[in-house]
Amino acid sequence: QNRTSVTEFILLGFSSKPALQLCLFSLFSVLYSATLMGNALVFVLICLDYRLHSPMYFFLCHLSIVDICYASNNVPHMLRNLLGQGRTITFAGCGIQIHLYLILALTECVLLAVMSYDRYVAICHPLRYAFIMNWRVCVTLVTVSWALGFVFGTLQASLALHLPFCGPCEVDHFFCEILAVLKLACTDTTANKVLIFAVCVCFLLFPLALILVSYLHILATVLRIRSVAGWHKTLSTCGSHLIVVVLFYGNAVFMYMGPGSGNSSGMEKALSLFYSLVSPTLNPLIYSLRNKQVKEALLKLQRRKRVFHS
């Protein structure tokens, strides 16, 4: 009966020291700009260059969209916080952050598994690749990835936001991360945490198992290749995706399924920062710098730009 309705939350962020906040603002602004420009460039290159109109780049295009949305969901408010222009966020705004964060995270989990299946078919069944990975299959896989992310992200967000919150309203994070917000609920959140764990099993462990099986088949195929050129081509094709998988799933499993998950606010912030800024910044660099076709498409775009201006 003494519960009061919470209409806004206070995001504590990283630090209250002005000098450190200014340094973090500068660093995060550079990373955020690099994230937007890098992923937007990858998206534009894939759309403009017909040589990149293949299943692998179709999936990469959607990964770039996820990364742009990921960063834009959390970082602008974090930068505003660091400038001292207000640490508060409305309950509705907090709900939107939680909702989008879950949708994008779960979608990326499935999308990375889909990309590993694409590499498996390309390397282990090259003669049947065009038949197996036709455009209908590709569109279906991407649609399923987004649909699963939306359905289960909405379910988790809805259950979390319908909990009673009666103060304190200080979120020990730089955005409304679901585990940090659940700590403020003035009721038992065991059911929510069990659901989060179950979703993690479905969206982390199961896709990760599929990825491992795919790469075991790829490894078996690679070991049968005798030429050095064949080895190099195969490893360059899979290397970029494998790096992203290790970074993404490794941090996600540690954050949500580790023995101390949800208990260390400092660790939660560091890992969330990785998903919000570091990973979206690295993904276009990993894929573009290690991929000959993307670099050729970039050079072609630069030549076209010079001709247009001349």
pLDDT in tens, 275-285: 788 888 888 87
Given a contact cutoff of 8 angstroms between Cβ atoms, the answer to whether 155 and 93 are in contact is no
Is the predicted pLDDT of residue 114 greater than 80, yes or no? yes
Please give the model's pTM, rounded to 2 decimal places.
Answer: 0.87
Answer positive or negative: Cα dihedral of 198, 200, 203, 205.
negative
Confidence at residue 252, expressed as pLDDT on a 0 to 100 scale? 82
CA angle 31, 34, 37 (to 5 degrees): 150
Candidate from 189-193, 240-244, 281-285, 304-308 with smallest mean pLDDT: 304-308
Check if the beta carbon of residue 294 is closer than 8 Å to that of residue 45.
Answer: yes
Q: What is the CATH number of domain 8-308?
A: 1.20.1070.10
Selected residue with higher pLDDT from 259 and 34: 34
DSSP code for 278: I
